[in-house]
Amino acid sequence: MQNYKSEIQELKEWIEDARRIVFFGGAGVSTESGIPDFRSESGLYKARQEYGYSPEQIISHSFFLRDPETFYRYYKENLIYPDAQPNAAHLGIAALERAGKDVRVVTQNIDGLHQAAGSSRVYELHGSVHQNYCLGCGARYDLAYLLDSPETVPRCAKCGGMVRPDVVLYEEGLDGDVVNGAVSAIAGADLLIVGGTSLVVYPAAGFLDYFRGKRLALINLTETGADSRATLVIRRPIGEVFSEMNFKL
Number of amino acids touching Zn ion (CB under 5 A): 8
3-state secondary structure (DSSP) of residue 198: coil
Bridge partners, residue 107, by sequence:
25, 124
Find how far residue 81's CA is from the centre of its chain.
14
Closest CA to 38 of 11, 64, 63, 59: 59
Give the nearer residue to ligand CNA in terms of CB position, either 76 or 155. Answer: 76
Q: What are phi and psi of 151, to 5 degrees?
A: -95, 155
By CB under 6 A, the residues from 201 to 230 that bind ligand CNA are 201, 219-222
- Inter-helix orientation angle 238-245/4-17, to 10°: 70
Of the residues 21, 106, 110, 117, which one makes contact with ligand CNA according to CB under 6 A: 110
Asked if residue 137 binds Zn ion (CB under 5 A), the reply is yes
**Can you spell out the DSSP letters for 64-99?**
HHH-HHHHHHHHHHHT--TT----HHHHHHHHHHHT
State the pairing for strand pair 232-234/215-219. parallel
Residue 119 lies near ligand CNA (rule: CB under 6 A): no
User: Mask 12-41, x = binds ligand CNA (CB under 6 A)?
Assistant: --------------xxx-xxx--x-xxxx-
| Sole window of 2-10, 20-28, 50-58, 161-169 interacting with Zn ion (rule: CB under 5 A) | 161-169
126 has catalytic annotation: yes
Summarize as ranges the residues that interact with Zn ion (CB under 5 A). Answer: 134, 136-137, 139, 156, 158-159, 161
Q: Please give the residue ranges that form the binding site for ligand CNA (CB under 6 A).
A: 26-28, 30-32, 35, 37-40, 43, 108-111, 126, 196-198, 200-201, 219-222, 237-239
| Active-site residue set | 126
